[in-house]
Each structure stands twice: as structure tokens, then as C-alpha cells.
Amino acid sequence: MKIDADRFRVREGEKVRLKDWPTLVKPVYKSRGHYGKLLNDHVRRLSAFQELHYATNCCAVLLIFQAMDAAGKDGAIKHVMSGVNPQGCKVFSFKHPSAAELEHDFLWRTIQCLPERGRIGIFNRSYYEEVLIVRVHPEILRSEGIPDDSLDGGSIWESRYRSIVDLERHLHRNGTRIAKFFLHLSKEEQRRRFLQRIDNPKKNWKLSAGDIEERKFWKQYMQAYESCLGATSTRFAPWYIVPADDKENARLIISQIILDLFRGLKMSYPKAGRERRRELLAIRKQLLAGAK
């Protein structure tokens, strides 16, 4: 079954109502074995693209993952990127900002981690936290030292959307290709996964009282995500709302979207010019002579 990744894409200017977006869709795999085969094929092709991307060194790729707790971000990154050469890929996980980071604007700490040309950068959470958790818990703004006149009238969220879109447009113009994934999990599936973390001793470390406390703000988070996704999904940095109640299916969808992104780069291995070819032939001659 072919994955139509475009069906999960949020169109630029589209008003997002998450109730209209499914958290579960018909799986693209027929069995666990079939899932493994499909994922391995995706990983193999992604590995080949990553090597080509590294060789061409013409642009960077930035993948951003956002979701509610237990939606499967870590697992998706782990499985989908399992075949990628670590030299060409870096994963950054952004948690509570440090004291030094709070002394800068809200984009500063993530900008330090942007991928170089020829590399893949993965943000497990990102600057989008500043219009999600900070919007749900506006008291966090006070710790960020923002001037009072910037907080008036609630316009700060629109200002931050504008800053984010401007940043991503700038990155695109300068050779960074961006894909953003919101793993769309149902509240009931989150409850089930939290219970699994309690019942399985090996997963106890994954659950905290804070996770349960944040669950109480589910409605507010959904509203914050709706506003954010609609305001910041663009042609050059689209959001994909990935149904996440089925982890395996979500991984296949995500890997297909990433493959489509790389395919769109139309890359090819650099060709040696006349001078470079002469240099290589001279080196070859030396090597053959040294073997005698």
C-alpha cells in the first residue's frame, strides 16, 4: 500500500481543528513482519539518501518533532533514523531553558544547534515549545525577562509565530529544508500508554507525576497546537499531522515523508572536473607503481 504523505500535510493558511484530524488510520502494513520489512526498506533508502546528501554538501535538512507525552517521538526518531550514519546526523532534545538561555530571545538556544550543509538535524521538541507549553502556562513568560509592553493584549503569540515563520523562511532561502511532525495522539491512547509505563518495571522511569499534571491541561494544549500549526505551516516548512495511536504506522508515515523530502532535493554525486580527473589518474598511477 502506497503512503500518500501529502494527506497529512497542513496547507499554508489552513485553519486547523484537531478533531477533524484522525489519531488512527488504516495501517499501511498487513502484519508485524510486513511492518518490519517496510521499515527496513525505508531505513535502507534513507541511509542511501543520507550518504548522497553528505557527499553533495549543498543543503541542510531539519526535522522537528512535537507531541504530547507518550506520543512516540523518541521511538520514531530511534527507528526511522536507525540506519543513518551518526557523522551526518545530530539529535537535540530541548527541555527547560538554562539561566544563560533565558538571557537571550526565545529562538537563540535552538539556533545554536541548526544543522550544517550536508547534515541532518533533528529537534526533539524545539522553539515551538515557546508557543505551546509557554502558552498553556503563561507564568513561564515572567521568567523570560520579556518587556511588559510586549505582553500587552496577548499579541505575543502572533509575534512569536511571525518570528518563527521569518526564521524558517530565512533558513529555506539559505539552503535548509525543513519538515515538521506533530504526532497526533488521542487522550485515551495516552492514558493506556501511561498505564503500561506503570505496569512494566522497565518503563517506570518514563513516567512522572508532572506528566499526569500536564494531562489535566489537554484541552488547552490542543488549542495551542491548533493555533500554532495553522499559523506556522508554510510551503517551505510544512507541518505534518501524523496519526500516532499506532506507533508502527506513524513510523512508516514519518519515514515516507522524509524520503519524499530527500527525493525532492534532486541530488547527484559531485562529478570530477578535468583538473580533478587528471589529479586522480596521477594518484592512481602512483598507487599502482607502489604495489610492485
Assign 3-state DSSP to the chain and report helix, strand, coil percentages, each to 5.
Answer: 55, 10, 30
3-state secondary structure of 101: helix
Domains of the chain by start residue, with CATH: 5-290 (3.40.50.300)
Q: What is the pLDDT of residue 10?
A: 98
Q: Which three cell numbers stand for residue 164?
A: 518563527
What tens digit of pLDDT does each residue of 126-162 get? 999 999 999 999 888 888 878 766 666 568 999 999 9
Q: Which three cell numbers stand for residue 129?
A: 515549545
Lowest mean pLDDT segment, chosen from 5-9, 50-54, 164-168, 273-277: 273-277
What tens digit of pLDDT does each residue of 63-94 get? 999 999 999 999 999 999 999 998 899 999 99
What tens digit of pLDDT does each residue of 184-219 get? 999 999 999 999 999 999 999 999 999 999 999 999
